[in-house]
Amino acid sequence: MLFVLGLGACSSVKTPTSPTIEPQITNVTATAPQPSETPSPSPTPQPRVVLLAPDGADPQQKEALRILLKELAARSGMDFQVLASATPVDFTSDLQAVVVLPPDPGLAALAAAAPHTQFLAVGIPEVQPGTNISVIDTRGVRSDQQGFLAGYLASLVTQDWRVGVLSTNDDPAGKAQHQGFLNGAIFYCGLCRPAYPPFVQYPIYADLASGAPTADQQAAADSLIAQGVMTVYVAPGAGDSSLLEYLAGKGVNLIGSEPPPAAISDHWIATIHGDWLEGVRLAWDDMINNQPSSRQDLPLSISDRNETLFSIGRQRLAEQISAELASGLIDTGVDPATGETK
């Protein structure tokens, strides 16, 4: 029994155990590294175009050009401004084109100081073309083309094609007007044979010396009237307003290169002249591509249309011929330098 009791006492003794240590977890929030800031580049300046209209510039010309250039600049994504004066300091690298009106503000020196900029002189005869200077002569129409369009228009609106031209014969421009008119009339009417007397081979002409006196002008007009002419084109330099009034008083309808006197508006068919605004429009693409304009002659325009004598449908035909002359699709058959037939 003592042995058994000893075993029980031994089994009741507990073996000590090591205490359990719970690990301590500390929450740490990691901070991502912040990238260093890169400075923003300076914005690229907007390309711009300037109308340079010095004091003394024609107000109507200035306003017409302002409207056109503002439209073209907006279409090309460019800034536009009008300046009365400028110095080379104003011509920063963003300045793409400058259109200049008379009087000449010293354009040659400005252009030399800004070789990255294209300049367009409008109606400044003393300015010469250069590597970054283009010139539009507001009087610079091709005489042969002006005469050709006048001859076409005269035949287009005149019964039996009874048409004639009064022009000068002592200068190439006058000769080109004369021959251009004849070719333009024939271009429309072919043989141009009238259906009733007088049986004249139209178109016909009468030439004058530059600055001819009034008596000579009227004698030339009478020679056309005697041959049944119903429409006369008075070329530049061939007569003054008194000649126009004399012809209108004889019942002759007229085409000219300058707006008509109000007294003869009933006999005025239309005015054919150079369109200098269209010339600027045509030069625009060259300018903004940093190229001097290759065009010196102005496209032709028809204005002062008499709705009674010259319908809108016939005007569209005449304007199509004008566009084809400008593009070279129609050759007048006249050398504009000499006025002679090619």
pLDDT digits (tens, 9 = 90+) for 302-319: 999 999 999 999 999 999
Please state the domain extents for the chain.
48-136, 143-274+299-327
Q: pLDDT value at position 297?
A: 74
- The owner of tokens 């000068």 is 168
What residues pair up with 166 in beta bridges, in sequence order?
206, 234
- Spatial separation of the C-alpha atoms in residues 327 and 146, rounded to whole Å: 14
- Spatial separation of the C-alpha atoms in residues 139 and 298, rounded to whole Å: 8
CB proximity list for 105: less than 8 A, separation 6 or greater: 52, 54, 85, 86
> Is 248 in contact with 275 (CB distance < 8 Å)?
no
Residue pLDDT, tens place only, 96-117: 999 999 999 999 999 999 999 9
- φ, ψ for residue 33 (rounded to 5)? -65, 135
Radius of gyration of the CA atoms of the chain, in A = 41
User: Count of alpha carbons within 13 Å of 143, Cβ hemisphere only?
Assistant: 23
DSSP 257: S
Q: pLDDT value at position 296?
A: 65
- Spatial separation of the C-alpha atoms in residues 53 and 58, rounded to whole Å: 9
Q: pLDDT value at position 89?
A: 85
Q: pLDDT value at position 16?
A: 46
Q: pLDDT value at position 21?
A: 46
Q: pLDDT value at position 326?
A: 87
Q: pLDDT value at position 330?
A: 96
Q: Do the domains 48-136 and 143-274+299-327 sit in the same CATH topology, yes or no?
A: yes
3-class state of residue 272 by DSSP: strand
Q: pLDDT value at position 45?
A: 72
- Spatial separation of the C-alpha atoms in residues 255 and 304, rounded to whole Å: 10
Strand 268-274, strand 300-303: pairing: antiparallel
User: How much is the pTM?
Assistant: 0.76
Q: Which residues of the chain are modeled with pLDDT < 50? A: 1-7, 9-23, 25-30
Fold designation for 48-136:
Rossmann fold (3.40.50)
- The owner of tokens 């004369």 is 178
Q: What is the DSSP string of 175-236?
A: HHHHHHHHHHHHHHHTT---SSSS---SSEEEEE-TT--HHHHHHHHHHHHTTT--EEEE-T
> Is 114 in contact with 91 (CB distance < 8 Å)?
yes
Superfamily of domain 143-274+299-327: Response regulator (3.40.50.2300)
